[in-house]
Structure 1
Amino acid sequence: MLKKNLKNINCVEEVRDGYVLHQHFGQFSTDWHEHPHGQLVFAENGLLFLYTLNNRYLLPTKFCAWIPQNENHKLVSYSPDLLIRTIYLDISDKQDPFYKQIGIYQTSSLLDELIFYSRKWNENTIADETEQCFYRNFKNILPDICKEEIPLALPAPRSSKMVEIINFLTEHFLIKHSIAGIAKQFSISERTLSRLFQKELGMPMFQFLKILKLIKALEWFDDGISNVSEVVYRLGYESVSTFSNNFHEVLGFRPQTYLLKKKHRQA
């Protein structure tokens, strides 16, 4: 996965309700920015990383992310073929909790079709009654069709001690760790370590490592590795079934299913 020489993309600052972009961006990075409207982002043919001040999220192919209005964020892609479909929506009059928080969602067939349909408009289109009607209804049903939120988020630590621990685990996540071993290495008690994970990240250490490994697995699949056993070996899982169960627990489907869908999309 190439991580050097990412092109910098200047994000759109002034957008209208229903402003859409369907564009191949490939490998890129944006600066930190925010929009006055909410933003629905759909990734295709690659992985998209979404960073906020408190979290980092992974958006796999055929998943979408909702980004609330005025949410400071940046986007990064290391996938050369990444296509992004983005719809900006004025949700100032919407009270549904869905619109108030970032979420990663598996794209249903209905949402997939609606996003695809929006291709008939672009950033230069003058909104007519058909387009306005489409987006009015789209905003009304969006919270109902984005029900399958995927917890592919790694919260950012706040204390200096946790920053130190998370940086270490992120760099050495392929090593088999234990609560006792990490507590000893960073001169804190096991109880304190467990408390810090729950307090600052909202999850146990092993859940953090599980999500970190799944993100790495998706990156490797995106890089072209299609052998599940090879990924299992690289990640240090004891068996394919354990990895498959973890994958299914978080994403809602098996890695074999993900690879099959990826193969069909590329055919």
Structure 2
Amino acid sequence: MRSHARGHLVYAASGVLAVHTERGTSVVPANRVAWTPAGFTHYHRAHGDTDMRIVFLAPSLARLLSDHPAVFLASGLAREVLLALTGPRNYDDAAPGYSGSARSRLLRVLVDELREAHEQPLHLPEPRDDRLRAIARMLHATPADSTTLAELGKTIGASTRTLSRLFRDELGMTFYEWRTQLRIHHALVLLAEGHSTTRTAYACGWSNPSSFIAAFTNIIGTTPGRYRISRNSAE
């Protein structure tokens, strides 16, 4: 794991990226941008055939974005700027490079686009309490596990009321919201690896593909089938 002195943006031109920090994990499917502010220890993991692009921001631009890790939907303009800033002009001596002033203008356009974008609900916060960490380990290992919070509480020796309060106070969401988010993260990875919608639905704990499609669409903004088509076309 490493920590950069400058904040940076990570973009998956294809495939899916997972960005891990001490605050939690952001899963970054195609056409999303993960922002990690300076000072956050982190590491990246690629899933599927991934084309990862990284852009660093100077403090004067970084301060215009959020002070916490976040994921943004990339507009068409933001995508083209990201590709331009990380394309052949930046490492191929045969390609005419951007001047320093041109790069500065492109970076400012990129930041302006991201400031107008809404944060995506793709960041899964990391629990700090040992009891929540125990639950998180179990569900990361078996995302299809549909054990209730009460039953999980009996396993780790905590009441449903206590666990519900911890999820709300520490993570800002209910247990069921957090588990759905975790399952969507796993689903994005499986889809990136080429699994079908039906197989992904059952592997991640949905009782049928229809309920998975509804939950996926609510969080990602498109159906799993359309997402796979758009991801493949991007590649």
**What range describes the TM-score normalised by the shorter chain of this pair?**
0.7 to 0.9
Following superposition, the deviation at residue 137 of structure 1 comes to 5.1
Aligned pairs for 1:83-232 (under 5 A) are 83-92=51-60, 95-96=63-64, 98-118=65-85, 119-122=87-90, 130-136=99-105, 138-139=107-108, 142-146=111-115, 147-225=117-195, 227-232=196-201
**Paired positions, count:** 231
Out of 31, 43, 46, the residue aligned to residue 74 of structure 1 is: 43
Structure scoring higher RCO (CA < 8 A, sep ≥ 6) equals: 2
CA distance, structure 2, for counterparts of residue 73 and residue 101 of structure 1:
13
Question: SS where residue 75 of structure 1 aligns?
Answer: strand
CA distance, structure 1, for counterparts of residue 190 and residue 23 of structure 2:
25
Q: Which has the higher helix share?
A: 2
Conserved 8 A contact 1:91-1:99: no
Conserved 8 A contact 2:29-2:188: yes
State the TM-score, normalized to the length of structure 2: 0.86
1:235 maps onto 2:216 in alignment: no
Conserved 8 A contact 2:24-2:125: yes
Conserved 8 A contact 2:72-2:114: no
What residue identity is the alignment partner of 1:203?
A: M
CA distance, structure 1, for counterparts of residue 79 and residue 20 of structure 2:
24
Partner of 1:27: none
Query: Gaps spanning 5+ residues in structure 2: where?
Result: none
Conserved 8 A contact 2:3-2:41: yes
What residue identity is the alignment partner of 2:166?
A: L
What residue identity is the alignment partner of 1:48?
A: L
Change (3 A) 1:202 1:99: closer
Query: Gaps spanning 5+ residues in structure 1: where?
Result: 1-31
Partner of 1:28: none
Conserved 8 A contact 1:41-1:85: yes
